[in-house]
Structure 1
Amino acid sequence: MAPTEETGNSSVIATMNRTCLLDEQFLTKMMPPILIITFILATSFNSLALWIFCSHMKKKTPIDILMLNLCMGDLLFTFTYPLVIIYHSNNNYWIFGNFMCKLQIFMIYCSVMASVFFLTCISNYRCYMIIKPIHTQSRITKKCTIVICVLIWMLAGLFAFPSFYSVNVFEMNGKIHCMSFNQPNVEKDFLTSTIILFSLTFGIPFISLLVSTLLIQRKLTNLTLTAHSEKCRHAVRMTMVILCIFVTCFLPINVTRLIMSVVGVKSCKNYQQIGVVFYCCVLALYANSVLDPFVYFYAGPKYRSKLINAIKGVACCNKLPIAASSTQSNSESRV
């Protein structure tokens, strides 16, 4: 059956003509509760980080600028959570129209790719700062970092932009769906696009991270116990955290998508099993926004000190009313 255009909401609704479809009913029970918890944690952590970056760090270094952009990318990602939660809570029924479906996918792709690129830049910057500290201060300036951030956002948007052409809502079993592998013609050029995205948005950044980690570790083994060696240890911890994020959040979904593109719909049983694994990997991808704030703690000593001071300040404010009330009760007892 050919696609039909619904003029009421200006959306193109394609009806299904495939025989091998994923059973996505399990998403209605799995996605909403996990995503609600992830949304609360990600929004809280990244809002706190954004508050520290904007109000407590007036003079920002290049790595502060990179972390600020990473934080904004994670907050952009969290903006997509509510629509996903509503969609799956509504029995996989999309009620927001075709344009919002396109915009939703675009924001997910753009924010995830930006996170990958910014994490890679943060790791490479710390490596370069350890290996050649003098060159870092003269060559990587704030203006240079801002240009790099703009280029990263443009590159992420460029990679994500094809979603506006490839993604549409579609009708299946009397319901309108979005964000589904059951979309008509999803297998068209799926393998080619998957290989390109896997190479550019995961393979190359991951290899770069491994190289940075090895270089910092080698530098650390050649140092004695000095202040510079302590910076190296913090840098190693930071790169290890970033590597864990890549392995936990980005590697599973990229590998599973690659397997799905190779297997295709030739075997419905295998396709269904891989599809279930893929959506579990999607949840791991959403956890990226929760884990990124741990990078800030190890990447920037200034952020680390500001965060500790902010926590101490909140703790002191919470103790003040208690101390005041006890003082007041003691004075009343004396009277």
Structure 2
Amino acid sequence: MFNNSTTTVPGPGAGSGPGGCPPVGIQLEGVILPPVLTIDVVLGLLGNVVALWIFCFKLKTWNPNNLFLFNLLIADFFALVSLPLRIDALLRGHWVFGDGLCRINLFLMFSNRSASIALMTVVAVYRYFKVVHPHHRVTRLRRRQAACVLALVWLLVAAPRLPMLAFSHIKGSGNRTQCFFFTSYKEASRALVVLVGMHRVLTVLEFVAPLVMLTFCSIRISSFLKERQFGKPDKVRKAMRVCAAIVAVFLICFLPTTVTTIGVWAVRSYRPWDCSAFYTFTQLTIVSLGLNFLNSALDPIIYIFSSSMFRKALCSSLPRPLRCGQAAEDASTVSSSGTQSTTQQELKSMRVSRDM
């Protein structure tokens, strides 16, 4: 299993759960995750390929907000590239791609979670300053400054995960070979135990801290707009949709993994003899992994709500009957203005012919 909280694998050298509980095995993971992850990949590719096309060929100007969203798109592609290898390993029942790809695969999947959370938070904070503090220097970021912010975000995301590349995560041999982040404390080195502990701390902190910031930004934007934009509920709703979309994707995709990680951690630490609780949280962790990578399919919703440029470019690219909102109005305006000018020209030509 590729989540650290699932602690055992079948075969030689496999460890056991806390307090000597028998191995959990990978049967549940092999049944649930392949179809769920396949859906994640298919939906993610559909949404993100369209988003990539919009960003690369339809957007005429790139503001900081669009740069932040484009980097969120890059983070999603990390998961979409790595998940097919994991699906193949689940269907085969063993890993066939070697140690190097195992390390890279795990690094990309865990980095996707961290990068998605960090970039969603950046988008929400930037929206907060644009709405609540429109004259703040943050709202006047240039593209170069936004690129520096993004470089810092990627550095903070990648640095804690880089040690994963230094260790082999291959367990077993032959048709029993598995690519797992962690199996059991008994067979792991001290360095790997420390790495797993650090990962668990990051899993919780990188969820709790952004959640506090997202909640603060949403409440402040809502209260500010209700005070300043009284009588204009459409503007309030439009701004709140952005925060609501980010918070919804955030909670749906990352809350279950965080809760189950804390659960396994608590059982290991305070109830190592409780095999039933250990199995329950382990199985819930397996199920939550499918939601963890669903963010790659749901992030295009954030692009639509967070960027008016992206939304207009998308709508204008659709067939006319499917165009939405302003794009349809713009098209009809252009059409009506063209018809009106043609009619005026015809009337003018009729007057000229009469005069002649």
TM-score (norm 2): 0.78
State which of 183, 188, 200 in structure 2 corresponds to 1:185: 188
Question: Could you give the per-residue CA deviations for residues 117-155 of structure 1, whole angstroms, max 9, x where no partner exists?
Answer: 100000000110001223257642211111111111111
Which residue is 2:315 aligned to? 308
Offset of 1:16 from its aligned partner? 2.7
Give the 3 Å change call, closer, same or farther, for CA 172–226 of structure 1 in structure 2.
Answer: farther
The range that moved more, 230-239 or 166-175, is 166-175
Paired with 2:263 and 2:194, the residues of 1 have a C-alpha distance of 14
The range that moved more, 266-275 or 113-122, is 266-275
Matches for 1:134-153 after TM superposition, within 5 Å: 134-136=135-137, 139-153=140-154
Which residue is 1:216 aligned to? 221
Paired with 2:69 and 2:310, the residues of 1 have a C-alpha distance of 10
| 1:106 correspondence with 2:107 | yes
Offset of 1:175 from its aligned partner? 0.5
Tell me the amino acid that sits aligned with residue 16 of structure 1: A
Offset of 1:194 from its aligned partner? 4.7
Tell me the amino acid that sits aligned with residue 251 of structure 1: L
State which of 256, 263, 266 in structure 1 corresponds to 2:267: 263
Tell me the amino acid that sits aligned with residue 249 of structure 1: C
Paired with 2:321 and 2:99, the residues of 1 have a C-alpha distance of 45
Which residue is 1:236 aligned to? 240
Question: Could you give the per-residue CA deviations for residues 265-302 of structure 1, whole angstroms, max 9, x where no partner exists?
Answer: 54333222211100111001111111111011110111
Which residue is 2:97 aligned to? 96
Offset of 1:17 from its aligned partner? 4.7
Question: Could you give the per-residue CA deviations for residues 149-191 of structure 1, whole angstroms, max 9, x where no partner exists?
Answer: 1111111111211222455111189611113653543993478
Give the 3 Å change call, closer, same or farther, for CA 173–257 of structure 1 in structure 2.
Answer: farther
CA RMSD of aligned residues (A): 2.6
Q: Please say if residues 169 and 177 of structure 1, whose CA atoms lie closer than 8 Å, have aligned partners that are also in contact.
A: yes
Which residue is 1:56 aligned to? 58
Paired with 1:118 and 1:188, the residues of 2 have a C-alpha distance of 29
Offset of 1:198 from its aligned partner? 3.5
Give the 3 Å change call, closer, same or farther, for CA 80–217 of structure 1 in structure 2.
Answer: same
Offset of 1:200 from its aligned partner? 3.6
Structure with max Cα Rg: 2
> Any stretches of 5+ residues in structure 2 without a counterpart?
1-10, 324-356
Offset of 1:37 from its aligned partner? 1.9
Matches for 1:74-85 after TM superposition, within 5 Å: 74-85=76-87
| 1:279 correspondence with 2:286 | yes
Which residue is 2:258 aligned to? 254
Q: Please say if residues 48 and 300 of structure 2, whose CA atoms lie closer than 8 Å, have aligned partners that are also in contact.
A: yes
Q: Please say if residues 44 and 80 of structure 2, whose CA atoms lie closer than 8 Å, have aligned partners that are also in contact.
A: yes
Which residue is 2:163 aligned to? 162
Q: Please say if residues 129 and 136 of structure 1, whose CA atoms lie closer than 8 Å, have aligned partners that are also in contact.
A: no
Offset of 1:315 from its aligned partner? 6.3
Q: Please say if residues 127 and 235 of structure 1, whose CA atoms lie closer than 8 Å, have aligned partners that are also in contact.
A: no
Q: Please say if residues 168 and 178 of structure 1, whose CA atoms lie closer than 8 Å, have aligned partners that are also in contact.
A: yes
Which residue is 1:298 aligned to? 305
Q: Please say if residues 170 and 179 of structure 2, whose CA atoms lie closer than 8 Å, have aligned partners that are also in contact.
A: yes
Which residue is 1:117 aligned to? 118
SS of the aligned residue for 1:222 comes to helix
Q: Please say if residues 163 and 195 of structure 2, whose CA atoms lie closer than 8 Å, have aligned partners that are also in contact.
A: no
Offset of 1:231 from its aligned partner? 4.3
Paired with 1:110 and 1:96, the residues of 2 have a C-alpha distance of 20
Offset of 1:15 from its aligned partner? 3.1
Which residue is 1:47 aligned to? 49
